[in-house]
Amino acid sequence: MITKEQALRYHAEPRPGKLTVRSSKACETQEELSLAYTPGVAEPCLEIEKDPAAVYQYTNKGNLVAVISNGTAVLGLGNIGAAAGKPVMEGKGVLFKRFADVDVYDIELDTRDPDEVIRIVKAMEPTFGGINLEDIKAPECFYIEETLKREMPIPVFHDDQHGTAIISGAALLNACEVQGKKLRDCRIVISGAGAAAISCALHYEQLGARHENILLCDRKGVIHCERREPMDEKKRYFAANTKARDLADALEGADIFIGLSVGGIVSTEMIRRMADKPVLFPMANPLPEIAYEQIRASRPDAVAGTGRSDYPNQVNNVLGFPFIFRGALDVRAACINEAMKIAATHALAALAKENCIPEVEKAYGGTHFEFGPDYLIPKPFDPRVFIEESLAVAEAAVRSGVAGNPLKSAVYRRHLEERLQMMRKSS
């Protein structure tokens, strides 16, 4: 168990923070100084002025992502502000670099005005190859992302929404297969109606779930058609024609439970009333909606996963965003579209069915992993995720017509394999 003292020491020593900037070119001689700055730097400037696309050839734009937050919905900490959220954004940068060799500048914005966030981010477009929005509260996050996606020519991705959807979607597809169910026939109950919950529901529809089979529950209960209080557009889309009014009602006979809310709100009695062979993903952190041990004791026929690393089937966003951006950046995608998200989900689901490699089992203390109830998605330290997910995303970008640099699959696979070897040598 990580202690407070360990966490604070890790972030403070030997130098504060988790990120640094390192030069990728030598600057040890007078000639190298002249190349790095004046007068040599004028030449790439003039080339980019003539051809704006040359910025990808002469600068780091093509491998640089901005992780941007205003700190209004940080992890499980809530609205703690931009500065207090900075350790999380630096952490995101560490994961981008460690898992996919993507460089990051973390940018914390001291504003809660969504239009100001949009204006600032748009003005930074010349610097970055992609934008990762992080920890911005709903419903503002929807408006910010949708506007930026529409008005910026580079990928914009709100990981709190789509990351959880993509990874849980992979686990869900495989859980249904293990349980002998078809997603389109399953009744799905989602506890939570924030950014992640709504994005998950929309993504599951793209994967085959039927709209009429999905119930969302917020703090007031089931989101249904007869509610009188105002609802935003996203919630209104999921307002169901149902007699169920609370989470217990909703879970009666349900096949799937997705938890993206708060810990401890689901009882063993509630899950006993679910359908045979249920799938339960209580993902609230650090305390799930129902404890993994309670699921195992009361529903031995269930397949379960959480957001925690100390139980099987952890739904961890690090399985998504580094590799999604890797593929998107490498083909210079103009956006991260639905086809690319679906491709990422299917790549993860397929990889879990491959034989686990010794390198992964060694990283987890010699534990053997085999596709089944306790191994529905790959582990983050599986190097094959870097290859297969990045490739799947890039291929989907090319197929859907949003790639500015449409690489052939065989060529790009070799490029990824070479990059992976370089990453391993430098680690």
CB 79 within 8 A of CB 71: yes
SS3 (DSSP) at 416: helix
Q: Which of 10, 37, 58, 364 is catalytic?
A: 37
Q: Is 277 a catalytic site residue?
A: no
The one-letter code for the residue type at 28 is E
SS3 (DSSP) at 127: coil
> CA torsion sign, 50 to 121 to 380 to 355?
negative
Q: Which of 61, 86, 92, 379 is catalytic?
A: 92
| DSSP H or E run through 168 | helix 159-179
* Residue 9, Cβ density class (10 Å: 0-12 exposed, 13-18 middle, ≥19 buried): exposed
| Complete DSSP assignment for 340-382 | HHHHHHHHHHHHTTSPPPHHHHHHTTT----SBTTBSS--TT-
Q: In whole angstroms, give the CA distance from residue 149 to residue 153.
A: 8
Nearest CA among 64, 201, 130 for reference residue 393: 130
Q: In whole angstroms, give the CA distance from residue 177 to residue 377.
A: 13
Residues 6 or more apart whose Cβ sits within 8 Å of residue 108 = 68, 69, 70, 71, 82, 83, 85, 86, 89
Residues 6 or more apart whose Cβ sits within 8 Å of residue 289 = 191, 257, 259, 261, 262, 263, 264, 265, 266, 282, 283
The one-letter code for the residue type at 417 is E
| DSSP H or E run through 268 | helix 268-272
Q: What is the chain's length?
A: 427
Q: Is 182 a catalytic site residue?
A: no
Phi, psi for residue 181 in degrees, rounded to 5:
-120, 160
CB 135 within 8 A of CB 88: yes
Note the helical H segments in 3-130. 4-12, 30-36, 42-50, 55-58, 82-100, 114-123
Catalytic residue numbers read 37, 92
